[in-house]
Chains A and B, each alone.
Chain A
Amino acid sequence: MNHPLPPETSDVPLAPGERLPKTQRDKLSPEAVAKIQAIASQFPDRMAGTLPALYIAQKEFGFLSLGAMKEVAAALGVTEGHVFGVATFYTMFRKKPVGRYHFEVCTNLCCALNGAAELLAKVIEKTGARPGEGPSPDGLWSVDEVECLASCGSGPCIQINHGVFDEFVDEAKLEALMDACRRGETAAWGE
């Protein structure tokens, strides 16, 4: 939060007055634009659609590049600066790509007391991905260390692609989870 755009983001931050790059990849589908506009119209102020719209864009593109943020601004009819400010404030809006299965390991105190640090080390060892360093070489995994996931009574816990909490995770359970991902039984990022 309240961090500038990370340097490893896919786009170079713009110089004052410079125009945003236009790439084919950053075009929202007509369905997504329609969905954004439908959501925005539910609220007294269209700006309230910003967070839902960013989620929709993130689902389409896998992460939020500057081009994607520009598309969101256009779909909502708000300024690009506003969308950029919001997208960079919240941690769940990814400014760089993640793996097909994004593992978020809670390392806050309650989980830490029950072995979250060891679990994170195992996740790093088994996936080959490190927190904050993007996907593993095969593109299958990425890992983040996150703050409390509200699963304190059953920690340590991992969330996969913002799906379901998996509670009391140990090494055997982690293996089983990764196997389920490899078999496609868990929804991939963006599905």
Chain B
Amino acid sequence: MAAIRTKPDHQLYTFEGFGSSKYPNLMLRGAGDLHNWHLKVYTEKWEGYEACRKALKMEPAAVTAEVKASDLRGRGGAGFRTGMKWGFMPKDTPERKVTRYLVCNGDEGEPGTFKDRAILEYNPHQLIEGMVIAGWAMQCRTGFIYLRGEFSWLIDKLEAALQEARDAGFLGKDILGTGWDFDILTYRGAGAYICGEETALLNSLEGRRGEPRVKPPFPASVGAFGQPTTVNNVETLAAVAPILRMGGHAYAQLGTPGNTGTRIYGLSGHVKRPGLYELPLGLPMDFILNDLGGGSSTGRKLKAVIPGGSSAPVFDAKDFDCPMDFDTVKARGSMAGSGGMIVMDESTCMVQALLRLTHFYAHESCGQCTPCREGCNWMEMILHRLEHGQGRPGDLELLASLPPRINLRTLCPLGDAACGPVESFLQKFRGEFEYHLEHKTCMVGAKSILPELVAAH
């Protein structure tokens, strides 16, 4: 049975003014329409593959220069400049021809993040076009789209889109008469969050356990199958075609200096209109929360928002005015990360919320590095005690002492990701933790959100 969806989508993708010059729609075009994924729709409605034709008439280095001019920053979480990353790939020399690979990271597993899925489902050709352009810019031989295992329902559609692109001559041998061969293979992960980390992803792509590698060497020198490789997020690659169409400098006019273009914000949790909103970078968080998201879904005041996927340190109400761009969010003590905003109202017990997140990191730690493997489990154990009324004197100090012993002491950032929430929840909502410790019960009298506690009642 094919897994191509035949039912309408509940997801909200549009709002008043969406698609105007103020809120340009570059990546979510046609999202929500089940037939939007076809090549015919993409070419007739959305200027499909025009950017690809334009790029393949340019020198590869000029394409990279265009992306550098756009100042596009990676949308997977770290915000590293894409043009610079492409520039790290080694060039051919008269003595040595290099095999280069391009890998699209579609292992979207960060809680609160659900943007790549929409691009893959409604705009796969935009991703494919972006990959062809990136492949040309870096002169790659093959592209891989690594999808998380749970996205098996998207693979049929993606394969069909790839075949449409091959049949139309945008993939395969001698693309558009340039003499350049490039094809894309899909690869399905199998349920490991850590495979979103680029070197773990490469190990998984090679058929191994998804354990991060020691860096250096970085993937640009030794990546997939030992060859130079660039790994880019789905949304990053989907932004490449609009950049080539508009021109890098025009794209850089969107957003704010140093934080250019549009990105897809995901609203979830206690918000009236959850969904994905494509917006220029730098708009204030309360505009996204209230004007677009409709504010609290419960009628209660909002207490906290995690601004960039579950590993971003939490914001309390005093930071809701924060402009949502990489640098400002970082200056306020969090990170813009993957753009997934988890909204919590005042009835949420922060101890429970943190326990659930820490359980996730403890479960997903690959186990290679002792600080992360033991530390995440230890933090979860302490929080479990607190939540179940079994907290001990000194537990909060012990909990606060663990992140500094995990942070930056591991091969990959999963350990750091687990620490962000712990440090920020403790810092901003310490009163709730102290109340749990002292009174063996919840300060906000929250309804339990944890299955074990629901089952117990």
- Give chain A's interface residues, CB within 8 Å of chain B: 1-2, 42-45, 47-52, 54-55, 78, 82, 85-86, 89-93, 107-110, 112-114, 116-118, 120-121, 124, 145-155, 159, 162-165, 167-168, 187, 191
List the B residue with the shortest CB-CB distance to A108.
B111
Contacts of B373 in A (CB 8 A): 2
In the complex, besides A92-B150, A113-B344, 14 extra interface pairs with C-beta distance below 8 angstroms are A52-B187, A54-B190, A89-B192, A108-B356, A110-B112, A110-B268, A113-B269, A114-B269, A118-B454, A148-B310, A150-B108, A151-B114, A153-B268, A163-B3
The 8 A-B residue pairs whose C-beta atoms are closest, nearest first, are A2-B367, A50-B207, A90-B190, A92-B191, A152-B268, A91-B191, A117-B454, A112-B449
10 A-B residue pairs with CB within 8 Å: A43-B185, A44-B227, A55-B190, A91-B191, A109-B353, A114-B270, A120-B451, A148-B112, A148-B310, A150-B114
Bound form: Cα–Cα A54–B207 in Å: 10
List the A residue with the shortest CB-CB distance to B270.
A113
Chain A min CB distance to B437 (Å): 22
Contacts of B148 in A (CB 8 A): 150
Contacts of A108 in B (CB 8 A): 111, 310, 356, 360
- Quick check: A86 and B208 within 8 Å, CB to CB? yes
Bound form: Cα–Cα A116–B267 in Å: 17
Contacts of B7 in A (CB 8 A): 164
List the B residue with the shortest CB-CB distance to A162.
B152
- Quick check: B342 and A168 within 8 Å, CB to CB? no
- Quick check: A150 and B344 within 8 Å, CB to CB? no
Chain A min CB distance to B62 (Å): 29
- Quick check: A47 and B206 within 8 Å, CB to CB? yes
Contacts of A151 in B (CB 8 A): 114, 117
Bound form: Cα–Cα A109–B270 in Å: 11
List the B residue with the shortest CB-CB distance to A167.
B10
Bound form: Cα–Cα A12–B82 in Å: 49
List the A residue with the shortest CB-CB distance to B148.
A150
Bound form: Cα–Cα A190–B240 in Å: 38
Bound form: Cα–Cα A42–B142 in Å: 11
Bound form: Cα–Cα A121–B449 in Å: 12
- B147-182 contacts to A (CB < 8 Å): 148-153
Bound form: Cα–Cα A48–B320 in Å: 45
List the A residue with the shortest CB-CB distance to B205.
A48
- Quick check: B451 and A152 within 8 Å, CB to CB? no
B18 within 8 A of A: no
Instruction: Report the interface size for chain B: residues with CB under 8 A from the other chain.
Output: 72
| Given contact pairs A90-B149, A162-B153, A168-B10, A148 touches B110 in the complex (Cβ within 8 A) | yes
Contacts of B248 in A (CB 8 A): none
Bound form: Cα–Cα A44–B226 in Å: 10
Contacts of A149 in B (CB 8 A): 150
| Given contact pairs A51-B188, A187-B1, A154 touches B10 in the complex (Cβ within 8 A) | yes
- Quick check: A51 and B207 within 8 Å, CB to CB? yes
Bound form: Cα–Cα A8–B329 in Å: 47
Contacts of B364 in A (CB 8 A): 1, 147
- Quick check: B11 and A152 within 8 Å, CB to CB? no
- Quick check: A121 and B153 within 8 Å, CB to CB? no
Contacts of A92 in B (CB 8 A): 149-150, 190-191
- Quick check: A152 and B114 within 8 Å, CB to CB? yes
Contacts of B113 in A (CB 8 A): 148, 150, 152
Contacts of A152 in B (CB 8 A): 111-114, 266, 268-269, 274, 340, 342
B295 within 8 A of A: no
- Quick check: A147 and B448 within 8 Å, CB to CB? no
Contacts of B382 in A (CB 8 A): none
- Quick check: B451 and A117 within 8 Å, CB to CB? yes
Contacts of B188 in A (CB 8 A): 51-52, 55
From B149, B204, B266, B455, A121 is in contact (CB under 8 Å) with B455
List the A residue with the shortest CB-CB distance to B373.
A2
Contacts of B110 in A (CB 8 A): 148
Per-position contact with A for B349-368: 1 when CB-CB < 8 Å, else 0?
00001001100100111110
B189 within 8 A of A: yes
Chain B min CB distance to A133 (Å): 13
Contacts of A91 in B (CB 8 A): 190-192
Contacts of A86 in B (CB 8 A): 207-209
Bound form: Cα–Cα A47–B12 in Å: 41
List the B residue with the shortest CB-CB distance to A88.
B209
From A45, A47, A78, A191, B1 is in contact (CB under 8 Å) with A191
From A43, A47, A48, A163, B153 is in contact (CB under 8 Å) with A163
Chain A min CB distance to B357 (Å): 6
List the B residue with the shortest CB-CB distance to A92.
B191
Bound form: Cα–Cα A118–B191 in Å: 24
Chain A min CB distance to B1 (Å): 4
Chain A min CB distance to B347 (Å): 10
B276 within 8 A of A: yes
Bound form: Cα–Cα A49–B110 in Å: 26
Bound form: Cα–Cα A147–B242 in Å: 33
- Quick check: A154 and B274 within 8 Å, CB to CB? yes
B5 within 8 A of A: yes
Contacts of B194 in A (CB 8 A): 1
List the A residue with the shortest CB-CB distance to B352.
A112
- Quick check: A153 and B11 within 8 Å, CB to CB? yes
List the A residue with the shortest CB-CB distance to B109.
A148
- Quick check: A109 and B356 within 8 Å, CB to CB? yes
- Quick check: B450 and A51 within 8 Å, CB to CB? no
Contacts of A55 in B (CB 8 A): 188, 190
B453 within 8 A of A: yes
